[in-house]
Every structure is written in C-alpha cells, then in structure tokens.
A and B are shown apart, each in its own frame.
Chain A
Amino acid sequence: MSDDMDFEEGGTVKKFMFVNRKAPYGTIYALEGLEVVLISAAFDQDVSLAFLDDGVFQLVKGQKTDGVEMKNFSPTYRALEGYDIEKLYVERESLEARGLSEDDLLVDVQVMSAAEMGDMMSQQDVVISF
C-alpha cells in the first residue's frame, strides 16, 4: 500500500501497474492484457504500464499481421493517451537484448533500467502481470 493513497468522491485511487511480458502475437496475453488496461481507465485509478522481456515487441513500429490473420492491435497503444493512460515504462535491458531502441517504438515511453523498474513496481498497490 502506498502511504499517499487518495480518497476521492468516487472512492479509493490505487496505483495499478500492468506488466506486459509477452510478444504481441503467438499467445493471447498481450491482446487480453490490453483489454484490461482499457477497462481500468473507467475506474479513475493511477494506471501505468510496464513492458519487459518479449513484451517490448508489443510497442514496435510497423507491425503487419495480415499473414497470420490476426488483428494488428498496436494502434491501440497510441490511443491510450486519450484514456489518460500516459505512464508507459520500458525496460532498457529488454530492449537492448533484442537489438531495439526507443526509436523503434510507436509511442513515447520512459526507458529505465531493470533496477529502476523494480523500484517502480515496489511503489504500486496492484501489479497485474500478463
């Protein structure tokens, strides 16, 4: 629990972090994870997203999915700002291990080290991992 928990008219505001660890296609975790993120916006919580391991591939520019007959849902990440979800954290080590840099990503993010990411996680009230 954070010490600075706010109580607003609508109730408690908690710090929610959604941790994305899987590639966007191949398994359904990324797509269904994003569905939770979008729903969470309706609850007026303090929401952030973390991308690490193969999860960093979710944010890579230029995804083309016609060949695998799956919906390219990557434009949704750009729409998150409209839901007031603006805290997107990406682990530097995961990017580097995959030969990626911030320029390869389709949204503005904050790149941080694994240690910094760990600190960020420890500040959360709720961490949901996909």
Chain B
Amino acid sequence: MKFSIMVSEGPYTHQATDSAYQFAKAALAKGHEIMRVFFYHDGVNNGTRLTVPPQDDRHIVNRWSELGTQNNIDLVICIAAAQRRGLLDENEAKRQGKNADNIAPGFRISGLGQLVEAGIQSDRLVVFGD
C-alpha cells in the first residue's frame, strides 16, 4: 500500500513525530511504500539541521534524514509554516535576505499543495498530531 504521513508537532516536545517515524519504519518493513512525509504546524521543526540533542538520546532530525534518503521518501516542509518558525533553505534565505539557512539533508521546502496531492495520490494519509 502507498502511504503518506502528516506530522503536526515538533521533535522532542511531542510524541507525534516519534510515532510517525515508528509507523513509517514499520510500514516499510512490511513492504509498503511511504510516498511523502509532510511536516506542518510545529512539525516543520523536524527539519532543522541545527538541533543538538544530548548524545544518549535519539537524534530525531537525523533519523528522518536517513529514513528519507534510504527509502526515497519525499520529506516536505510546509513553506508557510516554516517561514513563521524560522526554517529556511538556501534559496529562501537568499530571497528573504537572511544570512543563514538551516534545512536538514533530505528535506525540501514546498507548499501546502503537496499535502493535498499526497492525500489524492496515496492509498492512505495518516496524520500524527495532538
């Protein structure tokens, strides 16, 4: 089955992102496809490469990057939600006149249409939020 996932909460502050990750891993292990993970609301914070969690804890951002790259999953951060919260890729940083960008490898920034499209093109869209 072809799944897409929406993540609505930030890393470490809420179980939603951990549950989404565990779900994705379990689905892949069963031979399903994860087409896209769409990060919305505070979920966009899953895509900043500047997180430095304690060494004895899971690295949520790196974990997503690895899962996405290894399984060809489209990791999309909502641009509108990202701009409010200070998540920028190189192009956006230039466009907005900011002197830094912080998007993690394997993620890309795009519009809300990607969420609706994921709903249309996937067999199931699973929402992980509060």
B-binding residues in A (CB < 8 A): 1, 11-12, 14, 16, 28-29, 32, 35-36, 39-40, 42-43, 45, 125-130
Q: Which residues of A contact B121 (CB under 8 A)?
A: 12
Q: Which of B112, B125, B129 contacts A39 (CB 8 A)?
A: B112
Q: Which of B8, B116, B127 contacts A16 (CB 8 A)?
A: B116
Are B119 and A16 in contact (CB-based, < 8 A)? yes
B81 lies within 8 A of chain A by Cβ: yes
Q: Which of A29, A32, A36, A127 contacts B116 (CB 8 A)?
A: A36
Are B119 and A14 in contact (CB-based, < 8 A)? yes
CB distance from B116 to the nearest CB of A (A): 5
Are A14 and B41 in contact (CB-based, < 8 A)? no
CB distance from B78 to the nearest CB of A (A): 8
Are A35 and B80 in contact (CB-based, < 8 A)? yes
Are A29 and B41 in contact (CB-based, < 8 A)? yes
Q: Which of A29, A32, A45, A128 contacts B125 (CB 8 A)?
A: A128
Taken together as a complex, chains A and B put the C-alpha atoms of A32 and B40 apart, in Å, by 9
Q: Which residues of A contact B120 (CB under 8 A)?
A: 11-12, 14, 43, 45, 126
Tell me whether A39 and B81 are in contact in the complex, defined as CB-CB below 8 angstroms, given that A12-B120, A14-B120, A128-B125 are known contacts: no
Q: Which residues of A contact B123 (CB under 8 A)?
A: 1
CB distance from B10 to the nearest CB of A (A): 12
Q: Which of A1, A11, A29, A43 contacts B113 (CB 8 A)?
A: A43
Q: Which residues of A contact B111 (CB under 8 A)?
A: 39
B residues 68-116 with Cβ under 8 Å of A? 80-81, 84, 111-113, 115-116
Q: Which residues of B contact A130 (CB under 8 A)?
A: 8, 129
